[in-house]
Structure 1
Amino acid sequence: MFWLIASTIGAAIMAAAMIFIRLRAAKKPASVKKIIIPPFFMSTGALMFLFPVFHISWYQVMEAFSVGIVCSIFLIKTSKFEIRDNAIYLIPSKAFAFILVGLLIFRIIFKLAIGSHISFGETSGMFFLLAFGMILTWRLAMLYKYLQLEKQLIQK
């Protein structure tokens, strides 16, 4: 029970940090580097799977990653860019905070539902893959949108 509460508090803190980071980032022009670095750094978390406690089946890998991709749809739909002052900026979405809170609630409910059937290590591994699937898909979609606008800037 302690780990459930601690991980939920940790996730809430990360969600709040993401909201503030995203709002601050909207004040500066976006770049390819700023879009691709978060999933690149997050990928190092896959090292957790070197330890047997975090091992999960390939079915669980596909399941968690797929749920992450589905969850990313909300973030993709609310991530918009605009050209301003001959640069590309991310438009802050008012829905972003609500989506993150909704995803946090979804995560808590999901964790409570599967936590009694799967060990803490397996649950941790699955939630890492869910989050990674979500951020990777979201950031690839953002990169695509960014590159489309960059082509417009170059053509001007």
Structure 2
Amino acid sequence: MGNINPSLLHVGSTLGAVFMALMVIFIRLKASSRPVTIRKIWIPPLGMSTGFAMFVVPEVRFPWWWAVLAFLIGWFIFAYPLMRSTKFEEREGQIYAQRSKSFAFILLGLLLIRTVLHEFINQYVSVPQSGGLFFILAFGMILHWRVFMYKRYTLMAPPEARIPQTRG
């Protein structure tokens, strides 16, 4: 992995995770003042999917079953608290995400668990591999949460709101 010190990579990835968690909290708090749309539900996992390009680098690769396990842990365990804290409400004919007092604490709790797991995993794999594993875990978590949000949204939204709007 070149001349980069693994300790710096570890510190950088932890600080990056803290920064991302704080950004998500900030964005989520602002989002409750704007209506939810299908586009707003699906853009985060679509944007995040570009991160799979990291697996082009050989140092990041690991066995497929590790990836499947990481994805399933994200899907079934880490997504659950986010899904429990996500509620929608209808206001003036539009769907809004309700502010959840517990959302910030849930996200910070997930970050703490991720950091402890990262310390444990780093004893057995390289820093780039653990970064890849935690990316897949996070992708599974985000994807399940967004599938949940989409299903909830389509139950509440009027039929015309379910059709993605094109820019004209």
Compared with structure 1, are the counterparts of its residues 153 and 80 closer, same or farther at alpha carbon in structure 2 (3 Å cutoff)? farther
Larger relative helix fraction: 1
CA contact 2:13–2:131 (8 Å) conserved in 1 = no
Question: What is the match of residue 54 of structure 2?
Answer: 48
- 1:152 positional shift: 8.2
User: Are positions 1:77 and 2:60 aligned together?
Assistant: no
Letter in 1 for 2:97: L
4+ residue segments displaced more than 6 Å: none
Unaligned regions of 5+ residues in structure 1, if any? none
Distance of 1:6 and 1:58 partners within structure 2:
26
Distance of 1:4 and 1:121 partners within structure 2:
9
Letter in 2 for 1:141: F
User: Are positions 1:129 and 2:129 aligned together?
Assistant: no
Question: What is the match of residue 116 of structure 2?
Answer: 109
Task: Describe the superposition over 1:26-79 as per-residue Cα deviations: whole angstroms up to 9, x where unpaired.
Answer: 101000000001000100000111111111111101111011111000000110
Please, which of 33, 39, 49 is the counterpart of residue 33 of structure 1?
Answer: 39
Distance of 1:106 and 1:49 partners within structure 2:
24
- 1:151 positional shift: 4.4
Question: What is the match of residue 100 of structure 1?
Answer: 107
Unaligned regions of 5+ residues in structure 2, if any? 1-6, 162-168
TM-score, length basis structure 2: 0.88
Q: Matched residue pairs, number?
A: 154
TM-score, length basis structure 1: 0.95
- 1:145 positional shift: 0.2
- 1:8 positional shift: 1.0
Question: What is the match of residue 14 of structure 2?
Answer: 8
Letter in 2 for 1:80: K
- 1:122 positional shift: 1.1
Task: Describe the superposition over 1:96-139 as per-residue Cα deviations: whole angstroms up to 9, x where unpaired.
Answer: 10011101101110011110111112101101100100000000
Question: What is the match of residue 164 of structure 2?
Answer: none
Distance of 1:150 and 1:114 partners within structure 2:
42
CA contact 2:21–2:107 (8 Å) conserved in 1 = yes
Q: Report the aligned-residue RMSD.
A: 1.4
